[in-house]
Amino acid sequence: MVQEQNSGNPATAPSAAASGSTTKKDNRSENSIDSNQKTLLDFKKSLIEEQKVGETKIEKINESIEETKKVIDEERVKLEAERLKLKQINEVKDADYAKFTELKSSLIEERKRMKTLDTKAASGGGGGPRSRRDKYNLSNLTKALEQIERDIQTKKLSKDEERRLVLKSKEIATRLHALKVIHKKEDTYKSLATKFDDIKGKMNEIFDQKADVGKGIGKIKSSLDELLNRREELYEERRGVIHRVREAGAKIEMVDTQLNAIEFKRNRLQHSSERQRRYSPERKIRHEIPQDKMRKNRENQDLWNSLKEVAMKKMSSGEKLTFDEMKLIYAEGSD
């Protein structure tokens, strides 16, 4: 019975075999598509996660950059204030330093004069050096001079005695004058010395202030250098993260292109399967392609292969593909 059916319709068995082979091929293609699609979707998911992590990191880096900028601005304000303070100190120093050098010169000159007068006072009247107490005892010298003058006026003196007292009077008067000058110069010297000590103390304070401000400026500059280096490091880190996020975005676009192509190929397989079921083997035989049509198909196939090669190169380089180019890549030939 089975043999009679086969002998009555010889095309039935080959047709069934061809249909079964086509079905298996379609199933294998579908499984391959599903596997590729799952791999791509998993890869896309990891890329999206990488993008999110990168964007979060960029936000944190931006916050750190803004905070660093704020501290840099604050340090620059401090630095400017310290520089202004140093400028004011230098102005005071320049003004007082002129007074300081002038007083120092005056003090040296007065000291020289004092030594000269002191030498004269010590050697006056032919006497030898005396103690400072005797040389500067104005009261005793004044009394001695007054006594000599009274003796000259009241006592009966010989010419030699009178001449001796007159010489003595001149000697004491000379010494007394010299001592008065010395005392006056001493007062001037002491006044100058006091002023010099005051301004010297002030100059020392100014130099101490300069040193303190200089240290403060040095610390601020060091802090600024560290902050500027930190800001540059943050800029560099942000550039790296942005680059990775953009790379992930580009990869996502490529994955989307491949997913679209897979979807297109799945739809084409489904359409091909339906077409295979619609058309019987007998109808295919009745519509055999004539020789001239086959020739044209070969020519079209060559053109199709050339265009497909161009599209494949674009996809390999990461360029976006048009819908027609995806059709060329995933089509089953020159259908």
The pLDDT value recorded for residue 335 is 43
Q: pLDDT digit string (tens) for 98-112?
A: 777 777 777 777 777
User: Angle at which helices 138-154 and 159-278 pack, to 10 degrees?
Assistant: 160
pLDDT at 25 over 80: no
What CA–CA distance (Å, rounded) separates 256 from 234?
Answer: 33
Q: Which residue has the higher pLDDT, 185 or 161?
A: 161
The pLDDT value recorded for residue 127 is 41
The pLDDT value recorded for residue 137 is 67
Q: What 3-state class would DSSP assign to 318? A: coil
Q: Where are the alpha helices (DSSP H) in the chain?
A: 2-8, 12-123, 132-135, 138-154, 159-278, 281-286, 291-316, 323-330
Residue keyed to tokens 């019975």: 1
pLDDT at 212 over 90: yes
pLDDT at 274 over 80: no
Residue from 289, 226, 188, 227 nearest 68 by CA: 227
Within 10 angstroms of residue 166's Cβ, the number of other Cβ atoms is 14
pLDDT at 260 over 70: yes
Q: Is the four-CA dihedral 162, 168, 171, 174 of positive or negative sign?
A: negative
Contacts 24+ apart (CB under 8 A), 328-332: 328/304, 329/261, 330/261, 330/262, 330/264, 330/265, 330/268, 331/268, 331/304, 332/268, 332/272
Average pLDDT over residues 285-289: 52
The amino acid that residue 74 corresponds to is E
Helix (H) or strand (E) holding 158: none
Output the six-digit token pair for 94: 């320049």
Average pLDDT over residues 256-261: 88
Q: 61-65, 96-100, 180-184: which range is least confident on average?
A: 180-184
What CA–CA distance (Å, rounded) separates 319 from 238?
Answer: 27
Q: Is the four-CA dihedral 329, 330, 334, 335 of positive or negative sign?
A: negative
For residue 330, name the pLDDT band (cuts at 50, 70, 90): low
Q: What 3-state class would DSSP assign to 75? A: helix
Average pLDDT over residues 166-195: 76
User: Exposure pattern of 27-40 as b/e (b: 16+ CB <10 Å)?
Assistant: eebeeebeeebeeb
On whether the pTM is more than 0.75, the answer is no
User: Exposure pattern of 179-209 as b/e (b: 16+ CB <10 Å)?
Assistant: beebeebbeebeebbeebeebeeebeebeeb
What CA–CA distance (Å, rounded) separates 90 from 88?
Answer: 5
| Radius of gyration of the chain measured on its C-alpha atoms | 59
